[in-house]
């Protein structure tokens, strides 16, 4: 039985091959084995973003942030999705959080 890390690795490989639907399937298997696997939620969000499934991407990225709110990259990723949704105030807020976290505030 594959481990969460094996599913994650396969998901990232598929993502890199622009096989975003298949990547999501593998990444969801990783999350099923470890619901607190924040990086897997992040990767799901990125794959959904590539597929223009923006509301779903927001939910996946919010889950990553819920698990690890101190990771600046998660906030930057959410900001990018919000920007593409034309939700500029929300995008700016997430980017501000990311900058604050990088500076160690």
What's the pLDDT tens digit per position in 37-71? 999 999 999 999 999 999 999 999 999 999 999 99
CA distances from 23 to 30, 41, 47, 51 (A): 11, 12, 7, 11
| CATH architecture designation of domain 4-103 | Alpha Horseshoe (1.25)
Condensed to tens digits (0 to 9), the pLDDT of residues 88-103 reads 999 999 999 999 998 8
Q: What is the mean pLDDT of the chain?
A: 97
């Amino acid at each position: 039985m594959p481990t969460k890390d094996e599913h994650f690795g396969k998901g990232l490989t598929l993502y890199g091959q622009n096989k975003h639907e298949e990547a999501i399937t593998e990444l969801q298997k990783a999350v099923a084995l470890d619901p607190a696997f924040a990086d897997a939620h992040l990767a799901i969000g990125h794959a959904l973003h590539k597929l223009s499934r923006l509301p779903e991407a927001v939910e996946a990225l919010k889950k990553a942030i819920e698990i690890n709110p101190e990771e600046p990259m998660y906030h930057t990723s959410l900001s990018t999705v919000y920007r593409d949704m034309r939700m500029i105030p929300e995008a700016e807020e997430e980017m501000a959080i990311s900058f604050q976290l990088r500076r160690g505030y």
